Amino acid sequence: MGADAVMAEHDDAAAAALDQLRGWDGPWTGLRVAVTGLGVTGFSAADTLAELGAEVVVVDAEATEKKQRDAETLRIVGVSDIRFGPQAVSTLPQIADADPDLILTSPGWRPDSPLISAAAHAGIPVWSDVQLAHRLGARPGAAQPQWLTVTGTNGKTTTVQLLEAMLIAAGKRAVACGNIGVPILDAIRDPIGYEVLAVELSSFQLHYTEALSATASAVLNIAEDHVDWHGGYPGYAAAKARIYEGTVTACIYNAQDPVTEAMVAAADVVEGCRAVGFTTDTPDVSMLGMVEDILVDRAFLEDRRHQALELGTRSDFAELAPQHMVANTLAAAALARSVGVPPAAVQQAMRDYQLTEHRIQPVAKAEDVLWVNDTKATNPHAAAAALESFTDVVWIAGGLPKGIDYAPLVQRVGHRLRQVILIGTDSSQLRSSLERHAPGVPVIGAGLREDETEKALRSAAGRTAMRTAVELAGRLAEPGQTVLLAPAAASMDQFDSYGDRGEAFIEAVAQLMQSKGFSTD
């Protein structure tokens, strides 16, 4: 037998062995697994694998204080091999003098990172925690949950939170998990089990995950994001589309985003699975949508050609609901209705829901100027939703751009902009788009020595830059305008996270209000 044939036979045998890794009684004992990253995902993965009897090594480039504490906890449960430092992630870790059988990666580990690239070269499978959870299912004796899965460029967290609230209002034992809330491996390890999992999935997780066979799945919208990680927009969109593969009951799509409908049309689903659209316009048959200010369902009822069920009204929201909030609610309602949640529970969730921090969050109003924190707008699509909620905007924007083209955003919202203040260590792409497509909009502000001010904003540490930006906005904003932080970029160039960036904005606004004698309460 030739060398190629031997290698092929070995690969077939390895694939067959991995295919047997299903359920809690599968052949996990002694399996060599490298877990990349000791964040929330990595911790839950290592803990789960240790319980299954696998030989686990955890690698992470950085040994923060929290990670050191988590490492000590893992050592107590039997994960003794935990390696920190750049050298630990530069190549495949050896486990008992052999390559791992499997890599369990945390979201965000790029396919071109040295360790993941080495695994691909060696033919070693790379799984997400979501795939491991799907393979395991609930513990023996616990309820096997239905999976309702959600992805999209924007709105995932809001949609999943609303979905969880709708399910609980209907009396179902449910939990939001995945890329939000409870780690999915913790959810499936619950000793009682859940009836339904409301699962938020990022494009990173989907990239490393097989078909999930969800009861219902949804892609909320698609726009350029994380194209650097995925090697371009097609790779990003393909990762998102994976959520529909194997769906059993309903593929939920955005009728106002043709890309999501095309994804459903191309998906390999279970026979009988339905395509169900949502729209903020009047819905067609097999859709959810709006009739004036009423949210209605024309999909999950028998006489859907001639009738519609009222799910609630716009006035049911505790706070003013922007258009994208209504769309997210309709998507959540479609998922909930697919598992029998009654209209009354949908309406109750709408009434109880509170907007999350950092998403179109008003933080102050003084001198007829509204200050709004939307730091969670880490890409142009999310920023557009925020900017279109207001008419006259002093826009604080910029940060780590992720290889995105800003021209469509500026063309779409340029007429709403009155001033732009750029933060971030390199916002040259956004500045260039503003100069080309909104040349009449001042950037930084006329008469403020723009070159020196922008240089200071680029070079300053995050909180110093934000204070400067807020002080500038306070000088520039006129009565009736909104100062909006909607960066359209990631935060890691100057901040620890988008939340850290939002808190810096809130703190700076509070300081400005205090200096003027106003309160932010």
**CA 222 to the chain's CA centroid:** 12
Which amino acid is located at 202 in the chain? S
Quote the tokens at residue 121: 């070269």
* Cβ neighbours around 211 below 10 Å, total: 16
Query: Does the annotation flag 156 for ligand binding?
Result: yes
Distance in angstroms (rounded) separating the CA atoms of residues 200 and 280: 22
Residues with Cβ within 8 Å of residue 377, at least 6 apart in sequence = 154, 383, 385, 386, 486, 487, 488
Q: According to the annotation, is 399 in a ligand binding site?
A: no
Is 141 one of the annotated binding-site residues? no
Residue 339 and residue 216: Cα distance in Å, rounded?
8
CB 182 within 8 A of CB 175: yes
User: Does residue 158 have a known ligand-binding role?
Assistant: yes
Distances (CA, A) of 332 to 172, 219, 269, 299, 418: 15, 11, 20, 13, 35
Would the annotation count 516 as a binding residue?
Answer: no
Diameter over CA atoms, the chain? 85
User: Residue 259 — φ and ψ, nearest 5°?
Assistant: -65, -40
Cβ neighbours for 62, distance < 8 A, ≥ 6 positions apart: 84
CB 177 within 8 A of CB 133: no
Query: Which residues participate in the annotated binding site?
Result: 152-158
Query: Which residues participate in the annotated binding site for ATP?
Result: 152-158
